[in-house]
Amino acid sequence: MMMTEENEVESTLSVCGHNIQIAEVLKDGEMLSFLIVSQKLSGTGEYHVHRNYDDFEWLQHNLFCQEDVAGIQGVIFPPLPAKAQVNTAAKVMKQLGFLSLGEWQPYCKALEVFLQQVAAHSILSKNKAVEVFLTNPDSPGKQKVKKNIFNRLSQAVDGMRKEGHKDVDDFFQTARDHNLVLTNCTKTVTEKLLEVVQTEQKIAVACGHFSAALLLCVEPGDDPNKQAFSKVCVKLSEVFESMKKSTTGVSENDVSTMGLGLDLESRYQEAIKEMLFRRTCKLVELEHARRNAEKAKPVKKAAMEELRKAAETEFEDISRVAKEEITRFEAVRVKMLQQAMVQWCEKQLLTAKECADQFTQHLEVFRGMNFK
């Protein structure tokens, strides 16, 4: 779904990033197991690997823990959906929203997009873990997960206070303000669409019930009036079967295009929020370091200066990467949303036309019914 950028930087990945597929999802005890297919860059051939959620988490942690990469905290990390299992708790299902529907098909799509985004990312794709994840026949998830800087920062006690900390750069202040608004709006839209979809599903079920109940009204016998009424009931039952089918189709279209798109956008806005927060925290750290260096007694001065320099470099790196990321993401995001809306429209148009044809046919049947 996402558009991939031109890969200008050399990637260590031996597979094609933009057409990674999750071909299958299987039940493996309590866990869900995903079959991931990727195309070899050199010549023909594919990699088929089985991964479960723990493996995805392993990958993500590896990406987070690249402390040697300058400005890594400025990266907008492709968001990984929450963990889903064969029997997922109701609370998690609610959190998953659209991804909990449709027999895990949307969920697979979301994981697919995650992998595609990682593989397409100029910095992230260079991480060895990506190659291992995609190509190694064995499951890597059994390795112990290192503690990473992100855990520390996102659990900062005074997080709320830092979030509002005024920025030194207009670009970022605007980005933060805008992100705040967008995050809330997108979350609301996603929730509202989900409610629409859930009601559509209820209607489909109700149509099914009505259709079945009508068949029970069929009356046996030779009496022409009874036969006429029975025919009416049978044909009406067919009408409501059609209605059930079309409502189900509408609902599925909503999920697979607009729903998925909004869900991804929503999670990405959260990812940007986290990234901007990391940078803000770095800013606070930097301002601390500056003050400490200023106030430092001659004995400690040199050490404080070192810390200040390090903080400044880190902050500059983060800001640089962040700016690139934001700019890149903006373009991608607009295209992605537009695609989602276009696909949604196309699918709904098709379903509506089929539906109109069906109902017209039913109408002709009823008009043609002549009873003595």
Partner 1 sequence: MADTDREDEELFTEPSGTQSQPASLSTEDVSANTNGPNQDALFDDDPEDLFAEATEEVSLDSPERDILLSDGPSPAITPITPPTSVIAPRIGHTHDDMFTHSSFDEIEEEEVDDSFDINISVSDPEKVGEYVVHPVQEQKTSMSLFKQREFSVKRRFSDFLGLHSKLASKYLHVGYIVPPAPEKSIVGMTKVKVGKEDQSSNEFVEKRRSALERYLMRTVKHHILLKDPDVLQFLESSELPRAVSTQALSSAGLLRMVNKAADAVNKMTIKMNESDAWFEEKQQHFESLDVQLRKLHISVESLVCHRKELSVNTAQFAKSAAMLGNSEDHTALSRALSQLAEVEEKMDQLHQDQANADFYLFSELLGDYVRLLAAVKGVFDHRIKTWQKWQDSQILLQKKREAEAKLQFTNKSDKLQQAKDEIKDMEGRVQQDERDFEQISRTIRKEVGRFEKERVKDFKTSIIKYLESLVLTQQQVIKSYFTFRYVTASV
Cβ 323 to partner 1, closest distance in Å? Answer: 16
Kindly calculate the radius of gyration of the chain based on its CA atoms and give it in whole angstroms.
Answer: 27
Cβ 276 to partner 1, closest distance in Å? Answer: 16
Judged by CB, which is closer to partner 1: 292, or 348? 348
Burial state string for 142-153 with b = 16 or more CB within 10 A and e = fewer than 16 = eeeeeebebeeb
Answer yes or no: are the C-beta atoms of 30 and 54 closer than 8 Å.
Answer: no
Strand, helix or coil for residue 9: coil
Judged by CB, which is closer to partner 1: 39, or 227? 227
Cβ 351 to partner 1, closest distance in Å? Answer: 9
Cβ 171 to partner 1, closest distance in Å? Answer: 13
Answer yes or no: are the C-beta atoms of 85 and 30 closer than 8 Å.
Answer: yes
Q: Closest Cα to residue 233, out of 219, 244, 246?
A: 219
Cβ 184 to partner 1, closest distance in Å? Answer: 9
Judged by CB, which is closer to partner 1: 205, or 303? 205
What's the 3-state SS for 74-129?
A: HCCCCCCCCCCCCCCCHHHHHHHHHHHCHHHHHHHHHHHHHHHHHHHCCCHHHCHH
Q: Closest Cα to residue 20, out of 128, 97, 133, 99?
A: 133
Judged by CB, which is closer to partner 1: 13, or 101? 101
Judged by CB, which is closer to partner 1: 112, or 200? 200
| Side-chain-facing half-sphere of 247: CA atoms under 13 Å | 19
Report the interface residues with partner 1, using CB under 8 A.
178, 181-182, 185-186, 188-189, 191-193, 195-196, 199-200, 202-203, 206-207, 209-210, 213-214, 216-217, 219, 223, 225-226, 228-229, 232, 235-236, 239, 243, 330, 334, 337-338, 341-342, 345-346, 348-349, 352-353, 355-356, 359-360, 362-363, 366-367, 369, 371
Judged by CB, which is closer to partner 1: 155, or 370? 370
Q: Closest Cα to residue 351, out of 252, 213, 276, 214?
A: 252
What residue has token string 């009508």?
214
Cβ 364 to partner 1, closest distance in Å? Answer: 9
